């Protein structure tokens, strides 16, 4: 059985700076988040600016990525003791909950290792593994409902490899589709998400510069999407 994954797109609350948001999210919020007993994996993806994307990239400051063993643990994680004693009350200190968007999903891994040509060109590339990387650079692209099912293209994997990605994942909605009862009869915030990883910012920039056509085809020319570049910090 696949684990359930929760993606939360987090906007900054009024009255604090971007630096204060990111600092607070790491500590104390992230430090305490590590204590959630039902949490199996935890990644904080902090938005960073790139000239390769338009100004909408600043809509969210960070993406919380949380994995749980099953749907029950995910639905009820806000009732866990660390959440009720600290984290639920702490969220409004840095995050605008009215603008937060949630997506419950399962992963479809298109590729999990870099292209063989990258391995041949640099021995270290063959040793890269996402699950033991404390930091990496990633593109997160969220698919809006208006995009329809066509957001999953048959050439996606090939385009990702042309961009030198070290891992490429598509995320699909799964039951439950929401953990907020008031949203049960409303359209979902997102119908999909795409994630692409590089080991460093330099690797990302060089890869995109080497194949701008693939960048446009996979990322830029995809309507009804929101895209951000982030530093992914693997906490668990």
Which range, of 17-21, 178-182, 226-230, averages the lowest pLDDT? Answer: 178-182
CA separation, residue 5 to residues 102, 114, 188, 233 (Å): 10, 24, 15, 16
Q: Is the dihedral of CA 72, 76, 82, 87 positive or negative?
A: positive
End-to-end CA distance of the chain: 20
Coil, strand, or helix at residue 219? helix
Domain carrying residue 12: 4-234
Rg of the chain, C-alpha, whole Å:
18
SS3 call for 211: coil
- Cα-to-chain-centroid distance, residue 180: 20
Q: Which residue has the higher pLDDT, 175 or 40?
A: 40
Chain mean pLDDT for the chain: 94
> pLDDT, tens digit, for every residue of 128-174?
999 889 999 999 999 999 998 889 999 999 999 999 999 999 999 99
Residue position matching structure tokens 């668990």? 236
Q: How confident is the model at residue 223 (pLDDT cuts 50, 70, 90)?
A: very high
Only one residue has tokens 């020319």, namely 221
Q: What is the CATH number of the domain that holds 212?
A: 3.30.70.100
Q: What's residue 148's pLDDT?
A: 86
Q: What is the pTM of this model?
A: 0.95
Q: What is the mean pLDDT of residues 1-20?
A: 93
Number of domains in the chain: 1
């Amino acid at each position: 059985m696949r684990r359930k994954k929760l993606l939360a797109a987090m906007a900054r609350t009024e009255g604090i700076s971007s630096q204060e948001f990111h600092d607070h999210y790491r500590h104390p919020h992230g430090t305490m988040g590590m204590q959630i007993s039902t949490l199996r994996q935890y990644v904080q993806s902090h938005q960073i600016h790139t000239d390769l994307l338009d100004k909408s990239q600043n809509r969210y400051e960070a993406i919380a990525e949380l994995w749980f063993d099953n749907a029950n643990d995910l639905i009820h994680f806000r009732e866990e003791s660390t959440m009720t004693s600290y984290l639920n009350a702490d969220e409004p200190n840095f995050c605008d909950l009215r603008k937060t968007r949630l997506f419950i999903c399962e992963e479809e891994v298109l590729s999990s290792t870099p292209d063989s040509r990258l391995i041949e060109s640099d021995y270290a590339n063959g040793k890269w593994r996402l699950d033991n990387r404390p930091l990496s650079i990633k593109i997160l692209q969220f698919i809006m409902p208006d995009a329809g099912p066509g957001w999953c293209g048959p050439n996606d994997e090939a385009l990702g490899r042309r961009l030198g990605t070290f891992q490429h994942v598509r995320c699909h909605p799964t039951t439950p589709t929401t953990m907020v009862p008031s949203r049960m009869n409303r359209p979902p915030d997102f119908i999909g998400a795409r994630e692409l990883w590089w080991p460093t910012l330099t690797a990302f920039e060089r890869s995109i510069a080497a194949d701008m056509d693939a960048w446009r085809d996979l990322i830029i020319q995809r309507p009804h999407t929101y895209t951000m570049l982030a530093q992914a910090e693997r906490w668990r």
